[in-house]
């Protein structure tokens, strides 16, 4: 047989198999990373949606003039009337909110802060806004 008809040597086949293995392992790690990031993004989306809905509810209540100020540590602990639990995408989240009436606005505005967290992961999303206050 002529040398160009002999095929691959064992060394060439080993190197090719090694390269293929390295590429496959690297690709698998990238897929795992992409899946993890996708799960975090999904959780963040659920938390943002839950916070946004609560902000909307509180803004509606402020327009009706039925908001009351919360204790200053309402975002850090669960205080009756200033927290709830919501389930988004099958995952439970804790929502806490802080309502304050800044003196700079002479009672005409409410500062609203909503914090949503997932205790198992330690992930937190927070939304803040000012809202006009109806007749109090």
Q: Would residue 1 count as lying in a domain?
A: no
User: What tokens appear for 43 in the block?
Assistant: 């959780």
Q: Is 76 exposed, middle or buried (0-12, 13-18, 19+ CB in 10 A)?
A: exposed
Q: What is the pLDDT of residues 63-120, one digit of tens each?
A: 888 889 999 999 999 999 999 999 998 999 999 999 999 999 887 899 999 999 998 8
Q: Would residue 2 count as lying in a domain?
A: no
Domain with 85, as residue range(s), is 7-132
Residue 117, SS3?
strand
Q: Would residue 102 count as lying in a domain?
A: yes
Q: Would residue 61 count as lying in a domain?
A: yes
Q: Would residue 59 count as lying in a domain?
A: yes
Q: Would residue 47 count as lying in a domain?
A: yes
Q: How many domains does the chain have?
A: 1
User: How remote is the C-alpha of 3 from its chain's centroid?
Assistant: 62
Q: What is the pLDDT of residues 10-53, one digit of tens each?
A: 888 899 999 999 998 888 889 999 999 999 999 999 999 999 99
User: 93 near 115, Cβ under 8 Å?
Assistant: no
Q: Would residue 34 count as lying in a domain?
A: yes
Q: Would residue 19 count as lying in a domain?
A: yes
- The conformation of residue 44, written as its DSSP 8-state character, comes to H
């Amino acid at each position: 047989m002529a040398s160009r008809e002999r095929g691959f040597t064992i060394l060439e086949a080993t190197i090719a198999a090694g390269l293929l293995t390295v590429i496959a392992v690297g690709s698998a790690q990238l897929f795992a990373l992409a899946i993890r990031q996708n799960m975090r993004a999904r959780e963040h989306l659920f938390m943002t949606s839950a916070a946004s809905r609560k902000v909307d509810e509180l803004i509606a209540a402020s327009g009706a003039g039925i908001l009351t100020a919360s204790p200053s540590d309402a975002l850090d602990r669960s205080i009756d009337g200033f927290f709830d639990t919501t389930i988004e995408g099958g995952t439970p989240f804790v929502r806490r909110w802080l309502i304050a009436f800044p003196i700079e606005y002479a009672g005409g505005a409410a500062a609203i802060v909503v914090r949503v967290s997932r205790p198992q992961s330690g992930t937190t999303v927070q939304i803040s806004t000012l809202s006009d206050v109806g007749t109090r």
